[in-house]
């Protein structure tokens, strides 16, 4: 689920990944039900010029312990900022 707003050089997306029923396989090859998975995020970008773009992303805004795959937890709330230069 994602919703995007764009105007001129600015783009902002708010979205989420929702897995309310998630299953995994443990070390004994047994199928088991895992906790539900909810991840809400914001992605934004601003075009400074045709060749330069500024990006800022906020992930796991609810700061939940998300384990999409068995024994592979995702980071808590985090953000990433970067510059994209096309040459």
pLDDT tens digits for range 19-53: 888 898 989 999 999 988 899 999 999 999 999 99
Q: Which element (helix H / strand E) includes 40?
A: strand 37-47
Q: Distance of CA 63 to CAs 8, 33, 35, 38, 40, Å?
A: 32, 21, 15, 10, 9
DSSP 8-state assignment for residue 70: T
**Beta carbons within 10 angstroms of residue 51's beta carbon:** 10
Per-residue model confidence (pLDDT) at position 71? 85
Give the Cα separation of 13 and 57 in Å (integer).
Answer: 9
What pLDDT is attached to residue 53? 97
Question: Does residue 72 surpass a pLDDT of 90?
Answer: no
Residue 68 pLDDT grade (very low, low, confident, very high; cuts 50, 70, 90): confident
Asked whether residue 83 carries a pLDDT value surpassing 90, the answer given is yes
């Amino acid at each position: 689920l994602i919703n995007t707003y764009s105007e001129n050089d600015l783009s902002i997306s708010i979205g989420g990944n929702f897995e309310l029923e998630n299953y995994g396989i443990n070390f004994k090859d047994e199928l088991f039900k895992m906790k539900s998975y909810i991840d809400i995020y914001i992605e934004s970008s601003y075009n400074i010029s045709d060749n330069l773009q500024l990006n800022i992303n906020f992930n796991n805004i609810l700061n939940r312990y998300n384990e999409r795959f068995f024994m592979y937890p995702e980071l808590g709330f985090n953000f990433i900022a970067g510059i994209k230069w096309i040459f």
